Amino acid sequence: MKKILIVEDDPQIAMIERDYLAVNDFEVKIAQTGDEGIQEALAEQYNLILLDLMLPGTDGFSVCRTLRETLDIPIIIVTAKQEDIDMIKGLGLGADDYITKPFSPNVLIAHVKANLSQYERLKKTGHRNMSEIRAGDICIQTGSRRVFVQEREIEVKNKEYELLLFLVTNIDMVFSKETLYERIWGFNALGDNATVAVHINRLREKIEHDPANPKYIQTVWGAGYRFKV
């Protein structure tokens, strides 16, 4: 049984999330503050974390930053804030996905299952394949999920790594934002393209010499993105 940690200060919302997850055979625990969430996440072995941003005391952004220092499990932001800057900041700190309140319980379960499935699939693939993939100045060590640019290791978050690996293994192929979302996040885009754009921009900042004029991850206007060498 997969274990989910809910970090949410609104008891009603937390209970709704817990009940729907429990019906879908997940074991669930609730933390009501950011500090409690950090303590619980580091004390137990969870498979995924649902994290609210607006928490008393230590906010969700700080919780995400702290947990990403040691945990690589999926983190899904669940927030009532709809400003793009909050979503971008959360993803930039290492969150894998986000859901905006109010949301359908079916959407919540779909996000949880998709992130868990993608994480398990890529984790197993990485353990089986210990090879290196090189593209220009970039080297990806698939076994350890490490990325190097000009022999210097860079830090990439979970979905950044998965997106980069997918693009590098499909050089010169053009993929729309919707296709990338479906391939990397594991289910239909549901009209959300912002997540892909944020991760592309974050990758460019890390692997490109000039992110404003990218050499590797190129935009094909009206079509999507492609990786060039």
∠67-69-73 over CA atoms, to 5°? 55
Sketch the domain layout of the chain as residue ranges.
Answer: 3-122, 129-227
Q: Render pLDDT for 19-38 as a digit per residue (tens, 0 to 9).
A: 999 999 999 999 999 999 99
Helix axes 60-68, 34-43, angle to 10 degrees: 20
What's the whole-number mean pLDDT along residues 64-74?
A: 90
**Residue 114: predicted pLDDT:** 86
Q: Render pLDDT for 40-57 as a digit per residue (tens, 0 to 9).
A: 999 999 999 999 988 988
pLDDT higher than 70, residue 129: no
The dihedral over CA atoms of 142, 111, 12, 33, expressed in degrees to the nearest 10, equals: 20
With bands split at pLDDT 50, 70 and 90, how would you rate the model's confidence at 128?
A: very low
Residue 135, H or E segment: strand 132-135
**What is the β-pairing status of strands 146-149 and 3-7?**
unpaired
Note whether 133 and 165 are within 8 A (CB).
Answer: yes
Note whether 207 and 216 are within 8 A (CB).
Answer: yes
**Strand order across the beta sheet in which 132-135 lies:** 132-135, 138-141, 146-149, 152-154
Note whether 101 and 80 are within 8 A (CB).
Answer: yes
Mean pLDDT, the chain, whole residue set: 87
**Residue 69: predicted pLDDT:** 86
∠80-86-90 over CA atoms, to 5°? 105
Q: Render pLDDT for 70-79 as a digit per residue (tens, 0 to 9).
A: 888 999 998 8
Architecture of domain 3-122: 3-Layer(aba) Sandwich (3.40)
pLDDT higher than 90, residue 115: no
CATH number of the domain at 129-227, please?
Answer: 1.10.10.10
With bands split at pLDDT 50, 70 and 90, how would you rate the model's confidence at 101?
A: confident
Q: Render pLDDT for 163-221 as a digit per residue (tens, 0 to 9).
A: 999 999 889 999 998 889 888 887 665 546 688 898 999 999 999 999 999 999 999 99
What's the whole-number mean pLDDT along residues 102-111?
A: 87
- 13: three-class secondary structure by DSSP: helix
